[in-house]
C-alpha cells in the first residue's frame, strides 16, 4: 500500500472548496476554442479525487451541486453535468474501499473508466435531447485526465506535506 500518508491527515473544508473553485475558474478561463478538444474536465477529476479520498465529505450531493454550477459555467444543458457527476460519483463511491487501496497507476486506470462513463452519460443526454454525435474526439479529455491523475494527487497532498513539517 503506497498511499501517501499525508492523505490520512484531516483536510480542511476550506481547502476542498478552494480546489473546486479553482477547477471552476479553469472552466471559465477564456481559452481558444480548440482547447475544448483536449482539456480535461477538472471539476470531474476533482470530484473523483475527493470522493475516493474523502467520501465522508464529498459525496453524490456535492457532485450534483457542482454539476449544476458546471452546467451554467459551460452553458450546457441544465442538469447534464449534474447527472453525469452524480452517477460517476456514485460509481466511485460504491467501489471507494477498493479504489483507495490501489496505487496511483491503478487508480488512474479506474479514473479513466469513470471519466469515460462521465463523458458517455453527457453524450447520451445530449443525444436524447436531440443533438448530433460530436465525434470520438469527445472521449480524448478523459484520457488526458487519467494521465494527469497521479500529478493531481501529488499536487493536492502538497499543502499537507508542508504542514506536516511544521
Partner 1 sequence: MNFSNTPSFISHGPRPGLRLTLAVAASVALLVGDARLGLMGPAREALSVALYPLQWLVNAPISAAQHASEFFVDQARLKQENAALKTRELQLSAKLAELTTVKNELAELKAMHALRSQRAEKSVLAEVLYTGRDPFSYKLIIDKGQNAGLVEGQPVVGDSGLIGQVTRVQPLTAEVTLVINKGQMVPVMVERTGVRAILYGYGGGVELRYLPVHADLKAGDTLVTSGIDGVYPAGLPVSRVTHVERRAGAAFLSASSLPVDGVYRQRFVLALETGANRPPVTQPQP
Q: Does 118 bind partner 1 (CB under 8 A)?
A: no
Q: Does 94 bind partner 1 (CB under 8 A)?
A: yes
Beta carbon of residue 51, minimum distance to partner 1 (angstroms, whole number): 10
Count Cβ atoms below 10 Å from residue 133 Cβ, excluding itself. 9
Count Cβ atoms below 10 Å from residue 84 Cβ, excluding itself. 26
Size of interface with partner 1, in residues (CB under 8 A):
41
Quote the CA–CA distance of 44 and 78 in Å, as a whole number. 16
Quote the CA–CA distance of 127 and 150 in Å, as a whole number. 32
Cβ closest to partner 1, residue 100 vs residue 143:
100
54: helix, strand or coil: coil
Q: Does 104 bind partner 1 (CB under 8 A)?
A: no
Beta carbon of residue 53, minimum distance to partner 1 (angstroms, whole number): 6
- The DSSP call for residue 37 is G
Considering only residues 24 to 83 of the shown chain, the ones binding partner 1 according to CB under 8 A are 24-25, 28-30, 53-56, 59-61, 63-64, 67-69, 71-73, 77-80, 82-83
Quote the CA–CA distance of 136 and 33 in Å, as a whole number. 17
Count Cβ atoms below 10 Å from residue 94 Cβ, excluding itself. 10
Q: Interface residues with partner 1 (CB under 8 A)?
A: 7-10, 21, 24-25, 28-30, 53-56, 59-61, 63-64, 67-69, 71-73, 77-80, 82-83, 86-87, 90, 93-94, 97, 100, 125, 129-130
Amino acid at each position: 500500500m503506497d498511499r501517501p500518508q499525508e492523505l490520512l491527515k484531516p483536510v480542511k473544508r476550506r481547502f476542498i472548496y478552494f480546489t473546486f473553485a479553482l477547477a471552476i475558474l479553469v472552466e471559465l478561463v477564456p481559452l481558444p476554442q480548440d482547447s475544448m478538444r483536449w482539456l480535461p474536465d477538472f471539476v470531474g477529476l476533482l470530484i473523483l479525487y475527493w470522493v475516493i479520498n474523502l467520501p465522508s465529505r464529498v459525496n453524490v450531493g456535492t457532485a450534483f451541486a457542482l454539476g449544476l454550477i458546471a452546467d451554467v459555467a459551460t452553458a450546457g444543458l441544465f442538469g447534464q453535468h449534474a447527472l453525469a457527476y452524480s452517477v460517476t460519483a456514485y460509481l466511485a463511491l460504491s467501489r471507494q474501499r477498493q479504489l483507495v487501496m490501489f496505487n496511483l497507476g491503478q487508480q488512474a486506470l479506474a479514473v479513466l473508466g469513470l471519466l469515460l462513463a462521465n463523458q458517455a452519460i453527457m453524450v447520451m443526454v445530449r443525444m436524447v435531447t436531440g443533438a448530433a454525435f460530436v465525434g470520438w474526439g469527445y472521449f480524448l479529455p478523459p484520457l488526458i485526465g487519467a494521465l494527469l491523475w497521479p500529478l493531481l494527487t501529488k499536487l493536492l497532498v502538497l499543502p499537507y506535506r508542508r504542514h506536516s513539517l511544521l
